[in-house]
Chains A and B, each alone.
Chain A
Amino acid sequence: MHELDSLTVAPTDWVDIARAHKTQGFDYLDFLSVRELDSGEFTLTVHLLDPTNERRIMLEGTWATEDGAQIPSLSEVFAGARWHELEASELFGLDFVLPNGSVLTSGGNEPFIASEPALRSDYALAPRLDNEWPGTNEPGLAPDHPRRKRKRAVPGNPATWEPAHD
């Protein structure tokens, strides 16, 4: 197995292309994953395997979510996609459309209620805002030394992060 082909799929063809690949032998869903692009769009990646012929393929589709776009669920093609889509909706705040009006559940029969999508880049990590970065320390410098007043940028904290609580 081992060449990996990647196929960019138009959002409108997402389910149809996945179904077509399933009938061609790619009937094993390895994973479905999400990545946030710098543009604010989200790319869904589906890795499908064809165990008989030792082939695999990566399907990629990109959605912009500002306009409330809904992403068609692959669960009617691959039942196992539901779990990955549940993760994607919880952690990235994506909205999936399921067949027959069914809902993603997070245990029990209760419909999933969106909490804060913690893997989005605009989600501020509270400990990084509440605690002082240990790297601001300047060992051996007097407290009134001018270099102490120079503000070091905290690595990994985007300027847009605001404390989630006071």
Chain B
Amino acid sequence: MTNQSSSSASETGDVPERRRGKIILDAGACTSCMVCVRECPVWCIELDANKVHDPDAGPRGKSRLELTTFKIDYGLCMDCGICIDVCPTDALSWDQHTFPGQPNRAGFTPELS
């Protein structure tokens, strides 16, 4: 579950576990590979990451991408699930709760990272 300021009946109500409500991110599993962003047919995912150097990984260290921004525009998302299918690390998944209504357009694009 993402932390959202508002809640609705669909957020708190009793819904089937496997119901496809909205798409959520496990930020720890995301490698910032951009596959979901490029496959999304409605361009609703925004992703950015920084390159960081981990000196403890291997003898000379190793650089990896650290996720800084991951946004799904739930106002555009049509719940097709293609991003979930293509994600190579299973960082995206279905949540059984739908995204609640918002008072303004900006509210549909919460930061998920």
Contacts and interface: CB of A to CB of B under 8 A. Distances in A.
Interface of A: 128, 131, 133-135, 137-141, 155-156
Interface in B40-66: 40-41, 43, 45-51, 63, 65
A156 B41 contact: yes
B49 A155 contact: no
Most buried by B among A134, A137, A139: A139
Task: Report whether over half of chain A's contact residues are helix, strand or loop; otherwise say mixed.
Answer: loop
B43 A134 contact: yes
A140 B46 contact: no
Interface of B: 32, 34, 37-38, 40-41, 43, 45-51, 63, 65
A144 B54 CA distance: 23
Contacts of B37: 134-135, 137
B45 A140 contact: no
Nearest to B45: A134
A102 to B, nearest CB: 38
Contact of A135 (B32, B38, B49, B65): B38
Nearest to B64: A140
B43 A137 contact: no
A121 to B, nearest CB: 16
Given A139-B34, A140-B32, A134 B41 contact: no
B32 A134 contact: no
